[in-house]
Amino acid sequence: MYGVYVHVPWCRTRCPYCAFVIDTRRRPADESWRDRVLLDWERERSHFVGRPSTLSFGGGTPSRADPTALAAVARAVDATGEVSLEANPEDVNLEALREWRNLGVTRLSLGVQTFQPRIAPRLGRAHSSRQSLTALALTQAAGFASTSVDLIFGLSEQRPEDLAADLQVVLDHGVPHVALYGLSIEPGTRYEADKREPVDEDRWRALHDAAVETLEAGGLQRYEVSNFARTGHRSLHNEHYWRGRRWAGLGPGAHGWRPSGIRVANTTDVEAWLAGRQAEEEQPSPEALFFELVWSTLRHVDGVDVERVGAVTGISASVPVEYERAGLVRWRGGFLVLEPAGFVLVDGIATGIASASTKNRHGRGAV
Ligand SMILES: C[S@@+](CC[C@H](N)C(=O)[O-])C[C@H]1O[C@@H](n2cnc3c(N)ncnc32)[C@H](O)[C@@H]1O
Ligand code: SF4
């Protein structure tokens, strides 16, 4: 079982907090993008067996791309299951929704961030709060098998009641999946240049805890650090990453992990990628692979399959006892899972396990 991720770099402008691989040209180069993605797919498909189970158009802003170009890629990839697409509210209208459905999209993920008119302008987005509400109503009525809303928290201007109101909108509309991201100040962004700070740790924690409680009380279970879903509405594509499975990455800046264990990374230079620059291929070291597998699978409620990680990397996991004593992790069968208190500390816990375990290496295993 594997997935295919396709990166669509087009954005109207760069949001002041975003460091993703994007391109803000006035007219997206849809045909060149499509042809180049199809070449990436020709290269990658020979390394995988059978059809992928999921296809994910992420960005950048896939909703800014010509649906005909997206359709050509969807036809070529020919996934057996979920086809997801990230859409920004300003691109959502009845015709666009119909085109995305016709090309096979089953799951639409709406990049709202906030519905609050007081906060939205601070995020420098290309859409208003009103457009977000309209887009949400249209999306919910469009008949996708699943929908999701992305929200952000941790801006210094954001009061607890602002985030509570955002969550209420989502719950009132019956949205079955929410991705809730804590704002991080990324190198190279305008927020960093402006020396903006996210809220202090106590307020961050209060916003976070209240949001988790509201979403869970509303029937959306936390199944990954930042993701909440009703039964049957998890992101099946993202679960490939969080369960340590393989995937192909197509498009500028996209990464993949082949069944052979080779990691593939396309260049982040959109122009160079369009001009055909070759992807970099690398066999990761056992230590790097161990950290990545622990870091990515610990984030998910099903946790780390320690035996499998050992078989793949040749490194047996050593979990510092203080993590269990402090109530951050626990064992469930052969799986190491996070306790609620561990979710906010996942990066530190994964780093701690990796450093304790790589001291205890017992040789290499087959990948
Ligand atoms: C890279 S965007 C792509 C989808 C779409 N363009 C959008 O903006 O929603 C995916 C998600 O990452 C979030 N994101 C980007 N930069 C972030 C940051 N510095 N901190 C937290 N979330 C961030 C966005 O807000 C969005 O929800
Ligand atoms: S629209 Fe999304 S991908 Fe584009 S700059 Fe903003 S956050 Fe980044």
pLDDT at 64: 98
204 lines ligand 1 (CB under 6 A): no
**361: pLDDT strictly greater than 80:** no
**112: pLDDT strictly greater than 80:** yes
Q: What is the pLDDT of residues 204-230, one digit of tens each?
A: 999 999 999 999 999 999 999 999 999
**Is residue 177 within 8 Å of 183, Cβ to Cβ?**
no
- Mean pLDDT over the full length of the chain: 95
Q: Which of 5, 10, 11, 18 to mutate to test the pocket of ligand 1 (most atoms within 8 A of CB)?
A: 18
Q: Pick the ligand that lies closest to the CA of residue 125.
A: 2
Q: What is the pLDDT of residues 311-360, one digit of tens each?
A: 999 999 999 999 999 999 999 999 999 999 999 999 999 999 999 998 85
**Is residue 129 within 8 Å of 151, Cβ to Cβ?**
no
pLDDT at 362: 52
Compute the distance between CA of residue 64 and CA of residue 335 in angstroms, rounded to an integer. Answer: 41
**299: pLDDT strictly greater than 80:** yes
Residues 6+ apart with CB under 8 A from 197: 156, 185
One-letter amino acid identity for 113? Answer: Q
DSSP tag of 46: T
Q: What is the value of pTM for the model shown?
A: 0.96
One DSSP character per residue, 95-135 reads HHHHHHHHTT--EEEEEEE---TTTGGGGT-SS-HHHHHHH
| Protein residues whose CB sits closer than 6 Å to any atom of ligand 2 | 11, 14-15, 18, 20, 22, 59-61, 88, 111
* 3-state SS, residue 43: helix
* 3-state SS, residue 30: helix
Look up the CATH architecture of domain 2-239: Alpha-Beta Barrel (3.20)
Q: Residues spanned by CATH 3.20.20.70 within the chain?
A: 2-239
pLDDT at 125: 86
Instruction: Tell me whether strands 280-282 and 263-265 are parallel, antiparallel or unpaired.
Output: antiparallel
Query: Which is the closest atom of ligand 1 to the Cα of 87?
Result: 5
Q: Which of 15, 85, 127 to mutate to test the pocket of ligand 2 (most atoms within 8 A of CB)?
A: 15
| Phi and psi angles of residue 220, each rounded to the nearest 5 degrees, phi first | -105, 115
Query: 95: which 2 tokens?
Result: 């015709």
pLDDT at 360: 59
